[in-house]
Amino acid sequence: MTTSLFNTTLAHSHAEESGYLRSDKAMRTRGRSFYFASKFLNSETSKKAARLYQFCRTIDDIADQFDSKKRARDELNLTIAELNGEASLRDYTSDLYLLADETGLDLRAAVELVKGCRSDLCGEVAIHDVEGLIRYCYQVAGTVGIMMCSVLGVSNPRALPYAVDLGIAMQITNIMRDITEDAESGRRYLPSTLVGNLSCDEITAPTQKTLATISTAVKALADLADSYYSSGQSGICFLPGSAQQSIAIAATIYRQIGVKVRSNTAKSLTHRVVIPRTEKFVLAGKALYRNFFDRKSFQPPVHNSSLHKPICHRPGTNPLS
C-alpha cells in the first residue's frame, strides 16, 4: 500500500486542482445539501470532503448506471480488490489511497461501502427486517460518516459511533424520499416486517391500501431515523469548531427532508422532496444557534450501544454493542 501511494503522488500533484474542481462540481450538482453545508468548512477541508464525495458518487454510479448488473458487480469486485491491495489502482481508488495517507482514513470503511452498493446488484432487492435495513444503511452511509471523521481531522475514536449513527439516519431519510425511484429500479428498502410482501410494481402503481401501508411504514422509519439523528447530533461535539457547524447544518437539512416526506407521503411518491435554498438558510441559522448553546453547556455524551446491535463488531461501531 505504501508503494502504491508513493507511485501515485507525483502524478496526482499535477492533477490535484483539476481533480478537485471535478469533485466540487459533482457535489454542487448532485449533492446540493452537502455542498451547501460544505461552504461552512475551511477551504482545505472542503476540498478533502469533495474528494471523498467524488469517490462515493463513483461507487454509487457504478451500481446504478452500468447497463449490466454483472459488469457493475465485476467493477465493484475489482474496486474491493484495489482497496485490499490486491489489484492495480485506477484514478478514483488512487485518490482515495492518497486521501487516506493525508487523513488516516480507514479503508476498511470504504470496502464496506462498496460491498453495500454491490448488494444492490443481487437481483430484486427486498429488505426483510429493520435489522437488515440498519446493516444496509451502515454499509452505504454509516461508513461515509467514519471516513468523514478522518477528513474533518477528528482524532477521538469516541466520535465514530455517532458518525455512524448520523450516516444511518441520513440514509433512512434517503430511503423514505426515494421509495418510487428505488422501486422503479427493482429495489424495495421498506422492510417486509413493515410492508409485508409488497412488490416494486405495487409501489410504482399504488392503490389506496398500498398508500396506507407505505405511509405507516414511512412513519415507522421516520421514528427510527429520529433515534439515530438524536444520537448522531449529540456526537457533533467531538468535531472541530467549523466542522461542527457544517455537519450540524447538513444533519438539520436532511432531517427536515424526512419531516416533509412523513407529513405528505403520498405526494413524495410522485414529487421528489427538496429543501429550497431560502429554507436551507433558515435551517442553517437554527442549526448554528442550537450548536452554539450545545457547546456552551457541553456534557460528553454516552453512546446508546443498542443502536449498534445489528452492526456489532464492524469498523467504527460501538464495541459494547
Question: Grid coordinates in use for 197?
Answer: 410482501
CA atoms within 13 A on the CB side of 117: 28
Per-residue pLDDT, 2: 33
Per-residue pLDDT, 20: 45
Q: Which residues of the chain are under the pLDDT cut of 50?
A: 1-18, 20-21, 23, 25-31
Question: Grid coordinates in use for 171?
Answer: 440514509
Per-residue pLDDT, 321: 74
Would you say 138 and 168 are in contact if contact means Cβ atoms under 8 Å apart? Answer: yes
Euclidean distance between CA atoms 83 and 85, whole angstroms: 5
- Enclosing H/E stretch for 59: helix 43-65
Q: Is the pTM of this model over 0.85?
A: yes
Would you say 75 and 117 are in contact if contact means Cβ atoms under 8 Å apart? Answer: no
Per-residue pLDDT, 35: 52
Question: Grid coordinates in use for 150?
Answer: 478522518
Euclidean distance between CA atoms 217 and 197, whole angstroms: 13
Q: Where in the chain is the domain with CATH 1.10.600.10?
A: 124-321
Per-residue pLDDT, 10: 28
Per-residue pLDDT, 17: 44
- Supply the CATH classification number for the domain 124-321: 1.10.600.10
Euclidean distance between CA atoms 299 and 37, whole angstroms: 25
Per-residue pLDDT, 26: 44
